[in-house]
Amino acid sequence: MTEQHQARGPVAPGVTAAVGPSASAAVAESRDIPQATVSRLASYLRVLEMLADDGATIVSSEELAKACGVGSAKLRKDLSFLGPNGVRGVGYDVTRLRKRIERALGLDRGHRVVLVGVGNLGRALAGYGGFVRRGFAMVALFDTDPDLVGTRVGDLVVRHIDTLDGACADLQATIGVIATPDDAAQQVCDALVAAGLRCVMSFSPVALDVPDHVELRRVDLAAEMQLLSFSSARNNEQPASAQVIGSSGVPSTEPRNGSVIAP
């Protein structure tokens, strides 16, 4: 289950300090978008990327809404936060809409990610190629295990967490990911905040304390499986149902083969 620390006002995930007039406009635009809409924009973007890969240039609101498991009226309302989009009777330009959503989510500026905890989950995250495609570059890995420090994971050499502060500054990191055992999660979170990071994602189910200016996302994989268990039990009772339960607990018509780790 993904949870979000509520900062002062709704802020799109990944929004950090902006540079230049266009970036400032993007931040201002994002702050006007409700958090529920931000979550759906990420789903729209994922589908638009798939459509682009298939060579599609135009998509109707009905087609996009169906692929994302939402109503077309809700989709049109969500996209209205981005300004004028699409042509009545024609549809949305796939490339143009992708760029508008990427800008609203702050992805057009790119993000530099550091990860703490190079166990099995950490290695899987570090090796996931989809992050780069979506604007997230993994720039550093950290751990405390002497058997791991100095080893290589892909193109990165694992560093000791004692070097976290200086490395984050040198690498201009914008997002920190916690993939450590639960008992170390808060200490690592504190270190990331002390290093100046304002966006943190934790794969620990432990509730973490962060300052108001820090945006925290918590991904609880076990909770996601519990939701799938509920869906499975319900579908066994109603085999004709095609609904699944999303992270928000709201029924969705998204395909069942979605990945929790890969956003």
Binding residues for NAD(+) are: 117-122
How far apart, in whole angstroms, are the C-alpha atoms of residue 122 and residue 142? 10
Contact 260, 245 (CB under 8 A): no
Q: Is the CB of residue 243 less than 8 Å from the CB of residue 237? A: no
CA distance 55 to 66: 19
Return the DSSP state at 162: G
Q: Where is the binding site, in residues? A: 117-122
Find tokens 């962060």 and name the residue: 210
**What pairs with residue 199 in β-bridges?**
215
Residues 6+ apart with CB under 8 A from 88: none
Q: Note the residue count of the chain.
A: 263
The CA radius of gyration of the chain, in Å to the nearest whole number, is: 19
Determine the distance from the C-alpha atom of residue 19 to the mean position of all C-alpha atoms in its chain, rounded to a whole number: 22
Secondary structure tally for the chain: helices H, strands E: 10, 12
